[in-house]
Amino acid sequence: MLKSLVVLLALVAFSECLHKITLIKGKTARESLQEKGLWEQVRKQYPYNPTGKFNQVGTESMTNDADMSYYGVISIGTPPQSFKVIFDTGSANLWVPSVYCSDQACKNHRKFIPQQSSSFRWGNQPLSIQYGTGSMTGRLAIDTVQVGDVSVTNQVFGISETEAPFMAHMAADGILGLAFQSLAADNVMPVFDNMVKQDLVSEPIFSVYLSGKNQQDSELVLGGIDSGHYTGQITWIPLTSATYWQIKMDNVMINGQAVACVGGCQAIIDTGTSLIAGPINDIKNMNSWVGASNNQYGDATVNCQNIQSMPDVTFTLNGHPFSISASAYVSQDYYGCHTGFSQANSELWILGDVFIREYYAIFDTQSKQIGLAQSVN
C-alpha cells in the first residue's frame, strides 16, 4: 500500500512538472553607461522611445529600452549554441546576432554560426525589425531552439546582419518574442506557439515572475504557473486585442482621485519595457501628484528622503484595482531618485517591469486572457 502511494505521488509530481527558465537580472545598459560617464551622451544620440515597438509600418517593431535587464539563456542549433535573450511579451519574433553581422552591437555579443549546426536551414525571406532608435535587419532561418528543457524543432528565427548601435550596450544578445503570431514579422510562428503546436507544454500558458533589485530568482514558466511566486487570488482579465497582450484600463488613481486614463484606455502588459509609459499629459499629471519635478533631461525626479511618504498609484484594470507603492515605482541611480513613469507619444499605455515586479503575470494564449496576482517579493 505504501509503495503504491509513493508511486502515485511520483506520478502526480511528474504530471505537474513545469518548464522553468531562470531569468537573470543583470546590470542594465543605463547602469553600465553611467559608470563610464557616457549615459547623457548616449541618451541624446539614441533617445528613449518606449512606444517605438507599437508604431508598426509593415514590419514588426520593438522598443530600444535602455533598462531592459531581465534575460535568460536559450540555445539554437545542433550542437547547441547558447545566447542570452530578453523574453519580450511586447514582440513576437526570435532573433540573435550572426557571424554575418559586423556592427559593433554584434561584436559585443555572441554570434550564431550556421555552418556549425547540422540541423540548420535557410529560410526564404529577409527580416527587418524597426526599433524606436534604429533597426535590425537580417534573414530568416530554421533550426532547433531549446528554451530551458524544451526543445522546439523547425523553429523559424532571425539572424542579424545589421543592428542598431544602441544594442552594443545591451546585456542580452537577442530577443525572444512572446506576443501573438499576428504581430510577428513575416508571420513567423512564435516559439511558444510552436511549443503548443508540438505538444511540448502541458498547458497553453506561460507565466513571469520578476524579482526585485536585490533578488536573483526571476523566472519564466512555460506551460504552467509557479504558485510559490504569488499570494492571494489570481485575477483574470480578458484581452481586448490578441496581438500584444492588450487589456482595458479604466483609470489611474492617486489618493482616491482619477489622475490619468480618465474615461478608460488600452494598456499592454510588456516584459520587454522597463518602465510604465503613457500619454504625455497623463504622465505629467501622475508625476505631479506624487511630488516629482522634471530635471534638465526631462526625467521626473523626487527627493529620495520622501519615498516613504509618497502615495500609492492604483491602476484599475477591467474593474480591478492594482496598486504599487512608491518604493516600487521610484528608483535610485547615480543622479538621484526618479519615478518609473515615462512619457510616450501614444494613447497606448505600457505596463512594464515596474508593474510586473509587483504582480505575477500569467499569459493564457488559448483563452486570451491575463492573470495577475500579488507577487511574493
Residue type, 358: E
- Dihedral sign for Cα atoms in the order 33, 37, 43, 48: positive
Catalytic residue among 270, 282, 353, 364: 270
On whether the CB atoms of residues 175 and 91 are closer than 8 A, the answer is yes
What the block records as the C-alpha cell of 315 is 491602476
299 is catalytic: no
88 is catalytic: yes
DSSP-based helix, strand, coil % in the chain, nearest 5: 20, 40, 35
DSSP of 43-105, one letter per residue? HHHS---TTGGG--SSS-EE---TT--EEEEEEETTTTEEEEEEEETT---EEE-BTT--SHH
Cα torsion through 143, 147, 150, 153, rounded to 10: -10
Rounded Cα distance between 24 and 316, Å, is 30
Instruction: Identify the three-state secondary structure at position 116.
Output: helix
Catalytic residue among 65, 67, 88, 299: 88
Catalytic sites, residue numbers:
88, 270
